[in-house]
Amino acid sequence: MDSALIPEGAKRCPLPKFSIGIAIVSAVLLWGVYAMFLCWFKGLNQTNMNDYYGFALWIWADLAVIAVGGGAFFTGLLKYIFKIDELKNIINFAVIIGFICYSSALLILAIDIGQPLRGWFIFWHANVHSMLTEVAFCLSAYFAVLTIEFIPNILENRQANKVPFFHHLAHNMHGVMAIFAATGAFLSFFHQGSLGGVAGVMYGRPFAVREGLLVWPWTFFLFTWSAAAYGPCFTLLVTKTTEAITGKKLVKDNVIHLLAKISGWMIVTYIIAKIIDTAYWAMVTAPSLGFNLSHFYTDNSFYGYWMLITEIVICGVVPGAILITKSTRENPKLRLVAIILGTIGVCLNRWVMVLQIMAVPVMSFDTWALYIPSWQEIATTVLPVAYGVILIAFAYRYLPVFPQEQELNQVKPVTE
Amino acid sequence: MFPFSFEWVWDMGHMVFFGGFWYAIGILSAGMTYCIVKAVLNTMNDSGESH
C-alpha cells in the first residue's frame, strides 16, 4: 500500500505488521503524553520533587539523552571536519539518533519548567551569569543544526526527491554540511561542557564541586569528553538493535570497527582523566572542605562504593579496554557488551552528577535524602523512548538511512 | 534579547552570551538561505547537478 514511499530496492515488512508495531509503541507514548498533560494542567505537584530534589529524574534523563546523543556531533565532526569518509555510511543514522535525543531533551525541559508557554523567557530575560542559560542557548541552536542535518535525508525520500526543488535543496545542503557540522561541534562543546560545569560550580555541594581552568571546573571538560566518547557507543548500540529487529545487516563491519575503535580510545583517555579527577577530589578537594570520601558512600541504603566502581571500572575501564584491543573489538559479542556497558556508564555518571549530589547530606544535622520518582515522572521519562522508537521506525521504513543496506542484503537469484 | 531591549547591558556577560548565540544563529540562517536561494535558481534554470 505504501510501497511507492519505500526506498527503491529496499525490502520492508507489510504495512499491517508495521502498523501493529507502531500501535503498540504508541500506547506507551500516549501514557507518557497523559502524564505530561497532568504535569502541565495540575502542576509540578504531580512529581516527587521537593526542596532536596529540584533536579530530579527528568534532569537525569535530560543529561543522559544529551550525553548519548553526543554521537551525532562527534560522528559529524569526524566525517565532515576530519574527513573520515567511511563514516558516511552511519552518519545519517547518527543524526537521526541525535535529533531524537535533543528533541527529547527539549520536550523534557518543556515539562520540567511547568509553564512551557514561558519557555522563551530564557532567551529574552536571560541570566547571563548562569551556565544553564548557555545550555539553553546551545541546546536550542544545536537542535536547529540537527534538524538541518536531518532535512536532506527526509528530502531524499523516493517521492520527495522527485520534486526538483527538494532534490536541489538536498544536494545543496549536502554541499555546505561541513559548515553546519562545525557549528554543531562548537555548540555541543559548550552545552555538554556547561551541563558538567553546573555541577562543578556548586560550592555548597562538596560531592560535586571541583577546581578547574579559569571559569570552567574540570567537570566542564569531562562532560564534553564523555559525551564524545560514549555517544558513538549509543549510536552503535541503536544500530545493532535496529539490525536485530529488522533481521538485516545495515552497516559494514569496517565502519562499525572504525567507530568502535575511535570510541574506545576516547573512553580510555576520558577514563584516565576521570580517575585523576576523582582521586584529586577524594584526596584534596573534599578533605579541604571537611569531608572524607566515606561520607559520600556510606550510611545509606543505596549509594555505596559499588556505584563508583561500576561507573569507573566496570562501565569505563572495561569497555575502553575491549574497544581498543583489535581482537576483542572485532568479536561481535564482546563489542556488544562493551557498547552496552559504555552506554550504561555515561548514564550512571549523569545520575551520580545529578541525583547523588542531591542525596548526600551537607550540614551536620542533615541525613541522606533518597528519592523515588512518581509514576508521572517515570511515564514522561519513558515518553521520549517511545517517540524515538516510532521516529526510527518511520525513518528506516521510508528514508534511505543506510547507504550500504542494498549491497549487504542482495537477494541471491535462485539456481535450478 | 537584543541590544535595543531595555534589559540589555553592555557588559562582558551579555556580549559573550548573545554574541555567541547570534553568531551561531547567523551562520545557520546564512547557510540555509544560501541553500534555498541556490535551489530556487537551480530549479528555475534546471541546471543543477544531479545528486
The model's pLDDT over A89-128, given as tens digits with 9 standing for 90+, comes to 999 999 999 999 999 999 998 888 888 888 889 889 988 8
Residue that the C-alpha cell 522508537 belongs to: A389
> In this complex, which of B24, B31, B48 lies closest to A168 when CB atoms are compared?
B48
* Segment among A96-105, A144-153, A338-347, A406-415 with least mean pLDDT: A406-415
In percent, how much of chain A has pLDDT > 90?
A: 71
Burial (Cβ within 10 Å: 0-12, 13-18, ≥19) of residue A233: buried
- Kindly state whether B1 is in contact with chain A, defined as any CB-CB distance less than 8 angstroms: yes
pLDDT tens digit sequence for A168-191: 999 999 999 999 999 999 898 888
For residue A248, the SS3 value is coil
pLDDT of residue A194: 87
Closest residue on chain B to A181 (Cα):
B28
Question: CA-CA distance, A27 to A170, in Å (whole number)?
Answer: 34
In percent, how much of chain A has pLDDT > 70?
A: 99
H or E element at residue A213:
strand A212-213
Which residues neighbour A50 within 8 Å (Cβ) at sequence distance 6 or greater?
none
**CA distances (Å), origin A162, targets A155, A166, A218, A248, A311:** 9, 8, 51, 27, 50
Contact check, Cβ <8 Å, A190/B20: yes
Asked if residue A227 has pLDDT above 90, the reply is: yes
> In this complex, which of B5, B27, B35 lies closest to A173 when CB atoms are compared?
B35
Straight-line distance from the first to the last Cα atom of chain B, in angstroms, rounded to the nearest whole number:
40
pLDDT of residue A190: 87
- Give the number of other CB atoms < 10 A from CB of residue A36: 20
> In this complex, which of B24, B27, B46 lies closest to A164 when CB atoms are compared?
B46
Contact check, Cβ <8 Å, A144/B25: yes
Rounded to a whole number of angstroms, the distance from the CA of B10 to the nearest CA of chain A is 12
pLDDT of residue A54: 79
Burial (Cβ within 10 Å: 0-12, 13-18, ≥19) of residue A31: middle
pLDDT tens digit sequence for A43-76: 888 998 888 787 778 889 999 999 999 999 999 9
pLDDT of residue A299: 85
Three cell numbers, residue A314: 566496570
8 A C-beta contact, residue A375 and residue A35: yes
8 A C-beta contact, residue A216 and residue A234: no
Paired with A213 in beta bridges are: A216
Which residues neighbour A300 within 8 Å (Cβ) at sequence distance 6 or greater?
A359, A368, A370
pTM: 0.93
Question: CA-CA distance, B35 to A178, in Å (whole number)?
Answer: 13
- Kindly state whether B24 is in contact with chain A, defined as any CB-CB distance less than 8 angstroms: yes
- Contacts of residue A179 in chain B, CB cutoff 8 Å? 27, 31
* Segment among A109-123, A157-171, B21-35 with least mean pLDDT: A109-123
Select, from the ranges A57-71, A335-349, B13-27, the one with the highest average predicted confidence (pLDDT): A335-349
pLDDT of residue A118: 87
Burial (Cβ within 10 Å: 0-12, 13-18, ≥19) of residue B19: exposed
Band (pLDDT 50/70/90 cuts) for residue A219 is: very high
DSSP 8-state symbol, A212: E
Question: CA-CA distance, A42 to A39, in Å (whole number)?
Answer: 5
Q: Quick one: CA dihedral A176, A177, A180, A185, positive or negative?
A: negative
- Kindly state whether A215 is in contact with chain B, defined as any CB-CB distance less than 8 angstroms: no
* Residue of B28, B40, B42, B50 to mutate, interface with A, max A Cβ within 10 Å: B28
Report all structural domains of chain A as residue ranges with CATH numbers, in order of start: 49-371 (1.20.1630.10)
Higher pLDDT, A133 or A339: A339
Asked if residue B48 has pLDDT above 50, the reply is: no
- Kindly state whether A172 is in contact with chain B, defined as any CB-CB distance less than 8 angstroms: yes
pLDDT tens digit sequence for A248-303: 999 999 999 999 999 999 999 999 999 999 999 999 999 999 999 999 998 888 99
Contact check, Cβ <8 Å, B39/A183: no
Question: CA-CA distance, A295 to A203, in Å (whole number)?
Answer: 17
Three cell numbers, residue A68: 548519548
Complex-level ipTM? 0.87
Q: Average pLDDT of A193-217?
A: 89
pLDDT of residue A214: 83
